[in-house]
Structure 1
Amino acid sequence: MLTLIRRTLRVPLATGAAGDGRAAARQLDSALLQVGFKASKELLGHVEGLAQPTAYAKTIVDAVRGLVGDDVQHNPYFKDFPHGVPDTVEFWADCVRDALARRVPDFHEIGRGNLLALPRYGRVQHTYEEMLAAHDELLPSIKDHLTVLQLGGTLEEETRRLFLELATSPTPLNEADLTLLAELAEQTGELPDPIPVRENRAVVNAARLARGAAPVVDTVTDVLRLACQASGGDVTLLEPARLRSFRRPERRLLLAALDSTVEESPGKLGDVLKHREQWKRLGERLHPHEHEQWPHAQDVFAVARKQKTVRSLAGRVEIAFQDSDIRKAAEILSTAPGMLVRQVDRLLRHGTKEDVPHIVDAISKAAPETSGRVLCSLLEHLENRTAPDAARVFANRSRRAWITEDSRPPLDQEAVESITAVLEDEILRRLPEVSELTVDPDLLDVTVPLSGKASEEGFGVLPRGSRTWVEGELLRFFTYWRQTEMRTDYDLTAALLGPDLDFQGHVSWTNYHHDGAYYSGDLTDASEGATEFIDIPRDASTSRFVVPQVNVYSGEGFNEVAESMFGFMTRDGDQRGKPFEPSTVRARSAMRGTGRVALPVVFERAGDGWVATWLHLYLRGASWGNRIETNRGVLRETIAGVLSRKYFTVARLAELIRRKSNQDGAKLHLTLDNLLDITASVDNARP
């Protein structure tokens, strides 16, 4: 139930006997307020009617505490933080004097500047209770935000509802949601229709396979994804999976699915070449030679072993490009609408002005058969292609970033406008008809979620490129991590940039305060969890941009630690309170990426507050010793690339909806909750 509440902000109905739970309901409401939440009238009424609601109420509180990161103890190095933070060099000198007074035996390490050899350095010198005693109680503020928890249906109904939401999502899910989908699929045993994202389909099919049910597939790659998921491997096929041995009934189901798919469309054998090595490994597990009743399945593995030759669609397209026959390339691609849309930029770059009408015509025919999120992605791409980008920022499915200069020639303006018109017409056809549209103002700069891979699991988290207003006199961000086995040192850093993204200074373990900003102290061991904070007072700091980053200095990476998170809080200057106050948390995201430097968000000064732009990026970094001093250049390029890009936002979507408005349509209030429903309608309204 914890996961359901955190994921949906809906609380399943309790099944206990009726009684008088009014006292527990009052306690629940009070406990939720302390964490920044409030129970709806229906939820409180439900708790009031329970005879023994204590355990039920505790589960609710535990769920929201974990959502904002209050399920662990956040104890900074300096217990008085943000007060009492010394000068960096003075603090180091005090640590050296303390070590000499204790007659630490390893003087050579101290002489070489190894701070870890100092007994006082990197280890909290006080208890969590002593830290709490050093801080006054948090004073309430009229600016405090409250998130309302709604009452849901039964546990079974809420489980099924979440399963259907994830399984039928029009966008690819992130790693956490894919794992949750797999767990729910094992419980429900249901096969929703449609399942537009193939990764989600493979997860559901794997659960069906475990129960002996036939998978639902329409490409050979669907079968390979299913085999990888069933083996605990990478369903995205980006990383080779170590395939397990399948039981005989499972082998029959997989081979039968392959056979029917190829028999229906022999051209799909061309897809085998893209993952040829994985197919060879799968053939060793399925023993297709033992099953002559499925000859088309045997063809799949014959192609993988190069015993049978087929030319893939991608290969035919490459030949056309090599021959500079752009019209032929567009014609071949027309048989795969999604692939054609993804190749539009290349077609325009290599084609002549005379080729443009043929490309536009091909797009016009393919658009009705193409996924809505792919159309929206191309629309966003073209809006950024009439002028060079400040920098090209690529992010893979693990959010690992790669940055390079934009050396591509800009696309012709007229060609871009022609294709944009085709895309907009098709998207307009799929959008709902409304007579009146209202949009929450805070949503206008939120990017439409075209992929869950561009975000993280958490609370108050938005997709990459989304901009949100942050108010409050003090901006405080934090990182928490807990190591698994190896001693692990993460470092929270804030880069302070000027209007032109010029480097003006930083706050980190090498510089405890700068330009009004303060660092809470360096922790170098997280066997029981560790938290670092940085304060940015709005009036004291003069920097235009503040870029928090989390560096893996040593030890386990973000995917290896037991737990890691980043978040930020806001509060007024007179609110006081302990360093971590859950009710002031505005956002909290998990950190799970393959790089060694995390860039969660960038803050830009705007009026009497800040505008936060979500990044969700990880830089490769070094295997050891990552510091802000060594990655300043790539940091600037990354921020420039993200901030200069035009994203497909809610404001752009609202503009298209208004263009289709009529007198007979229904009224529509666009919120964050129904944004995915609109995205799904665009994706599913194909003829």
Structure 2
Amino acid sequence: MSINFKQTRALLLRRQSSVFAEEGTELQPEACMQLFDIDLATLGYALSQRLRTRLQTLDLPSLLAIQEHIWKTLAAQLGAHRQHTPLFRRFPDRTPPDTVALWQDRVLSHFMQAPGQPCVHCGRTGTTHVLKPCRHVVCDACFDGANYSACPICHRHADRASPFFLPDPAPAVGTVPEPRKLLDLGASMDDAAQVLVRALCERKQAMSPVDTDDFKALAGEYRLRLLPWIPEQIPVRENIALLFGTLLKHCEPAAVLAAAAAHIGTATDVIRLIAVYSGADPSLQGQRVFREVPIEKARGMARFKTLFTPESYWNRRASVPLALTIKRFKMARLGRPLRRALLALLESFDPDSLTEDMLRHRAYWVWLGEFLHPHEYRKRYPKVAFAFGVVRKKGPDGTPGPQFETFYAGLEKAVMRKDAVAMVALLRKRPGELARRLDHALRVAGDDSAAAGAVLDAFAQCVAQCATPVLLTLRALLPTRLHAAQKRIYWPKGSVATGFMVRDRRPPLARQTIEATVALIERELLARFSGKPQLDDFLIDAALGDIVVPFNERTASRSAIELPRGSVLAVPPANKVRLFLHWCEPENGHTTDLDLSVAFYDDDWHYLGVCSYYQLTCTGRDGSVIATSAGDLTDAPFPNGASEFVDLDCALARRNGVRYAVAVLNNYSGMAFENLEHAFAGLMLRDEVQGEHFDPRTVALRFDLAGANGVFLPMVFDLRDDRLHWLDLYTSGEFAFNNVATSNADIAAVCPAMIAYFASGIRMSMYHLALLHGAARAQRVIVRDEAGGMRALSRHAGEDNAGFLGRLRRFAPDDADSAPALGAAPLFAALLDADIALPANSIVYALRSGATAPTIAASDLIS
């Protein structure tokens, strides 16, 4: 296999289950291909017949190279590329049942056990060993060397050459899960890359971290070759920066800027471009850093007042870390020709727009001015020099800079006057801002029917210019505004999701206003979607009603399955749930202790118990063990890292009065999640708990950890309904010593509020988005229920899109066509699981790949 375009091959394999291989002239023996099949089966994958036939024609070195490429790519996606050895190697069978007694034994050994002395627990001699490098003395009669993988006293990794550690036990053989996911032969890598580049460019909301990485990889490998693939319009400004900023790193600046000029129209576009070129984030959210504050100064600061209780650990520290957001980044080298080209680009913009746009990110522009030296060229670029004078609040001679009123200052004045008409007069100039502030403008209008009419008239005139994601958000939000919500939840811009909850003080909106606006939005959405490729049949899974349309994707966790925040998945009641956590410290990095826990609550969110490092087993009221931990490793040395597991028996927990089981990932001490070499977690759904600790074939979710220190609440299991709620939510927590006990109040407040928020329908589901597409693009819509049964509804002769959509939403079994069958023509499919063979060239969205590989992502349906 050619080493060219290695990242492109990997991302197309991950995203589309496609393998690209030129036909060879040899014929490898069947035994060689069987070894390939066995290797892939360990990850839960299989080759399609045509891919297997193609690979069999390759020479042996090429075949081995492709095999290695496939295995490494898929293993990394699932988490199988790392070593997974928990503290208790015989987990789940040999986890100590009494955590308190174990802790007492550890404390006594730490303080009282000396080398060469009789064991303080059993009194035997000749049974103790000194472990390296921690120097703890352990007795092999009191601590099972065949069960531990690290020091039994401090739980840090130790030299396994010590006689204390016995060989690893042979794992029991587990069952083989079926069916396997299919890999297929790709037709043309360049064609697939072109389609993907265009789809990513056409996205109408900020991309997820996975999409961002893939977009930059494509630009970095194809370079100027991909310029002809770029559409005329790239709606999201950050994506413009990602594309051309990445190209700027690899290509001649003049060629890149010439191509970028047609897409860059604001000063913020320019600074985003420079940020990507410098290796920074184009969202311009600022970099979070920690500065040490002396303890004497910290005691007088309000933000630290809760730290200094009489028994607090912080009383013994010399300093306290203070989180700061820095609006600057390490600047890449800007050569003189590049600086002049950037200044010329800025000079071409409207002067008022230039100045106002620079003021939106004033701190960044003050920083960038130190590298651009705009006043050296003030005669050549006078508009840029003026704008920098406003931004810096002084001219080059030190005199006060000119005054300037921004768009938002004028808008705020109108809001303060409660003048809805003045608000919309300004907002008409920026349709996207009008859509985002529509609810606010209607509330400012209040009972004034004339003002409310002006707001709706303005929105009707601007709706065609509003982005599709904003319209979808409004379509879902407005029907919920008939009544006040229990909690109002904000999603602040940031690198991770930190939903902010407040009491909902908004007055409800009038039903007539809501209905008129919703009809307007739906008419516009149907018109947009009808311009996309028409297909006779649409196949839609009803289970997508529990999958939320992606929003705020910038903060989504990198994951093997792109499950949008707020979505709900069915958990088969017969399965055992095994949660996993793996992290690794950087080489020569600080010791970092992450912890995996599960907290248990009843129907009313009253705390029932926990399975964690301080309670290794959680028992129910009948004495049965409902959850078991594999132990608490307190470091994760480079390069192998550390893994923790928790097994959850959902059926036993439910019988013992547990309604909710909350997975909690805590940064107990050490480095922030984002500064680790790598850190990921997830869950396996297993028919049994025997076999390898980590079985990639059973991985249902795998996601990376991001953000700073604190607490990550990824998911909640509703054991009564056998549902998993994916929250993907971070809370700030403490600087250290985070656990379920310190986070219990947050968990009991945040989790039910988030579940109720998404259950209210405030976010559109993928099912309803697919119905909008079906009503606009199909002659027949087939709905598959969770049992696999299908029913279809066909468009009437002459029926318009709105009428067909209304019938689809009222779809009942009595209305269905009899015995719908899939034809041989390509169709559109929106599936939860791609477990059905579809005609060639079909357009497929699937949350989880299987017999059919997805060809589009959820975000492509919003474009």
Query: Quick one: which of 37, 45, 61 aligns to 2:71?
Result: 61
Residues 1:670 and 2:706 are matched in the alignment: no
Aligned to 1:494: 598
Deviation at 1:51, TM superposition (A): 1.5
Question: Cα–Cα, structure 1 residues 405 and 502, in superposed 2: closer, same or farther, change >3 Å?
Answer: farther
Is 1:226 the counterpart of 2:284? The answer is no
Equivalent residue pairs, number: 667
CA separation in 2, counterparts of 1:547 and 1:553?
Answer: 18
Matched, 1:368 2:464: yes
Aligned equivalent of 2:347, options 259, 281, 298: 259
Matches within 5 A, 1:467-506: 467-471=568-572, 472-484=574-586, 485-506=589-610
CA distance in 1, matches of 2:70, 2:857: 27
Given the alignment of the two structures, is residue 649 of structure 1 paired with residue 765 of structure 2, yes or no? Answer: yes
**CA separation in 2, counterparts of 1:127 and 1:138?**
27
Aligned to 1:103: 114
Note closer, same or farther for the CA distance 1:104–1:496 as it changes in structure 2 (3 Å cut): farther
TM-aligned CA distance change 1:430 to 1:168, over 3 Å: closer
**What secondary structure is seen at the aligned counterpart in 1 of 2:706?**
coil
The residue that corresponds to 1:629 in the other structure is 741
Tell me the secondary structure at the aligned position of residue 202 of structure 1.
helix
Name the structure 1 match of 2:702.
588
* Equivalent pair of 1:288/1:298 in contact (CA under 8 Å): yes
The answer to whether the 8 Å contact 1:4/1:158 transfers is no
Task: Give the counterpart of 1:319 among 413, 416, 424.
Answer: 413
Letter in 1 for 2:745: G
Residues 457-472 of structure 1 mapped to structure 2, 5 A cutoff: 457-471=558-572, 472=574
Residue in 2 aligned with 1:339?
433
Contact kept, 8 Å, 1:80 with 1:131, in 2: the verdict is no
**Match for 1:248 among 323, 332, 336?**
336
The two structures, once aligned, show a CA RMSD in angstroms of 2.9
Change (3 A) 1:668 1:463: same
The Cα shift of 1:161 comes to 4.8
Which residue, 17, 30, 34 being the options, matches 2:42? 34
The match for 1:445 is 546
Report the secondary structure of 1:593's partner residue: coil
Give 1:430's aligned amino acid: R
Q: Does structure 1 conserve the Cα–Cα contact (< 8 Å) formed by 2:27 and 2:57?
A: yes
Q: Alpha-carbon deviation of 1:177?
A: 3.6
The separation in 2 between residues aligned to 1:65 and 1:651, in whole angstroms, is 31
CA distance in 2, matches of 1:678, 1:486: 39
Among 123, 127, 141, the residue aligned to 2:156: 123
For residues 603-651 of structure 1, give each alpha carbon's deviation from its aligned partner in whole angstroms, at most 9, with x where no partner exists.
11245xx312211111111111001101111112221222112221112
Counterpart of 1:416? 514
1:294-352 Cα offsets, whole Å, 9 max, x none, are 33333432332343433222111111112221111012101101111111222122222
78, 88, 92: which one aligns with 2:99: 88
Q: Is the 8 A contact 2:427 2:433 kept in 1?
A: yes
Tell me the secondary structure at the aligned position of residue 577 of structure 2: strand
SS, match of residue 564 in structure 1: strand
Q: Deviation digits for residues 168-208 of structure 1, max 9, x if unmatched?
A: 33331233543443343233223312322111101222234
Name 1:186's counterpart in structure 2.
220
Q: Distance in 1 between matches of 2:578 and 2:499?
A: 28
- What is the match of residue 109 of structure 1? none
Q: Distance in 2 between matches of 1:410 and 1:636?
A: 27
- Pick closer, same or farther for the CA change 1:131–1:171 going to 2, 3 Å: farther
Question: 2:845 is paired with a residue of what secondary structure?
Answer: helix
Question: Residue 435 of structure 1: CA displacement?
Answer: 5.2
**Contact 2:99–2:615 (Cα < 8 Å) also in 1:** yes
Amino acid at match of 2:114: R
User: Which residue of the other structure, out of 486, 511, 517, is the alignment partner of 1:389?
Assistant: 486
Considering Cα pairs closer than 8 Å and 6+ residues apart, tell me whether 1 or 2 has the greater RCO.
1
2:209 alignment partner in structure 1: 175
Q: Deviations over 1:231-269 (max 9, x none)?
A: 222311111223344112211221222122226xx4453
Cα pair distance change 1:504/1:195, threshold 3 Å: same
Deviation at 1:503, TM superposition (A): 1.7
SS in 2 for 1:444: helix
2:383 corresponds to: 296
Q: What is the CA–CA distance in structure 2 between the aligned matches of 1:487 and 1:394, rounded to whole Å?
A: 32
- The CA distance in 1 between the partners of 2:753 and 2:135, in whole Å, is 37
1:136 to 172, 181, 185: 172
Q: Is the 8 A contact 2:526 2:772 kept in 1?
A: yes
Would the aligned equivalents of 1:475 and 1:571 in 2 still touch at CA under 8 Å? yes
Deviates more, 1:411-420 or 1:557-566: 411-420
Counterpart CA distance in 1 for 2:544 and 2:457 is: 35
Aligned to 2:234: 195
Shift of the 494–232 alpha-carbon distance from structure 1 to 2, 3 Å rule, reads same
Q: 2:727 aligns with which of 593, 606, 615?
A: 615
Tell me the CA shift for residue 652 of structure 1: 2.0
**1:395 shift after superposition:** 4.8
Q: Distance in 2 between matches of 1:429 and 1:5?
A: 32
Verify the 8 A CA contact 2:487 2:502 in the aligned structure 1. yes
- Aligned counterpart, 1:565: 680
Look up the equivalent residue of 1:320 and give its one-letter code.
A
Bigger-Rg structure (1/2): 2
Other structure's SS at 1:674 match: strand
Tell whether the 8 Å contact from 1:269 to 1:303 is kept in structure 2 after alignment. Answer: yes
Q: Deviations over 1:354-412 (max 9, x none)?
A: 22222111211121001101111223333443331346353533224143332322422
Distance verdict in 2 for CA 1:493–1:627, change over 3 Å: same
Q: Which residue of 181, 193, 198 corresponds with 1:147?
A: 181
How do 1:533-612 and structure 2 match up within 5 A? 533-542=645-654, 543-573=658-688, 576-607=690-721, 610-612=722-724
Q: 1:299 to 1:437 in 2, by over 3 A?
A: same
Identity %: 27
Query: What is the rounded CA distance, in whole Å, between the counterparts of 1:682 and 1:531 in structure 2?
Result: 38
Deviation per residue, 1:32-80 (Å, 9 max, x gap):
1121112222221221111221221122112111111111111111122
Structure 1 residues 657, 56: closer, same or farther in 2, change over 3 A? closer
**Does the 8 Å contact 1:475/1:536 carry over to 2?**
yes
Query: 1:168/1:657 Cα in 2 relative to 1: closer, same or farther (>3 Å)?
Result: closer
Give 3-state SS (helix, strand or coil) of 1:551's partner. Answer: strand
- SS of corresponding position for 1:524: coil
Separation in 2, partners of 1:678, 1:596: 30
Q: Return the offset for 1:493.
A: 0.8
Structure 2 unaligned spans of 5+: 1-5, 117-133, 138-150, 287-326, 394-400, 621-625, 780-794, 802-825, 833-843, 847-855
Point out where structure 1 has 5 or more consecutive residues left out of the alignment. 106-114
TM-score (norm 2): 0.72
Kept after mapping to 1: 8 A contact 2:484/2:504:
no
Equivalent position to 2:614, from 510, 515, 518: 510
1:221 touches 1:271 (CA, 8 Å); kept in 2?
yes
Residues 547 and 421 of structure 1: CA distance in aligned 2, closer, same or farther (over 3 Å)? same
Q: In structure 1, what residue type is equivalent to 2:273? A: L
Match of 1:111 in 2: none
Cα distance, 1:590 vs structure 2? 0.9
Change in Cα spacing, 1:679 to 1:564, as seen in structure 2 (3 Å) is closer
Match of 1:261, SS?
Answer: coil
Contact 2:830 2:845 in 1 (8 A): yes
* Corresponding letter in the other structure for 1:228: A
Is 1:398 equivalent to 2:495 in the alignment?
A: yes
User: Displacement, 1:478?
Assistant: 0.7
403-412 vs 674-683, which moves further: 674-683
Q: Does the 8 Å contact 1:458/1:589 carry over to 2?
A: yes
2:203 and 2:862 in contact (8 A); partners too: no
Per-residue deviation at 1:162? 4.4
CA contact (8 A) 1:220 1:262 kept: no
The answer to whether the 8 A contact 2:246-2:276 is kept is no
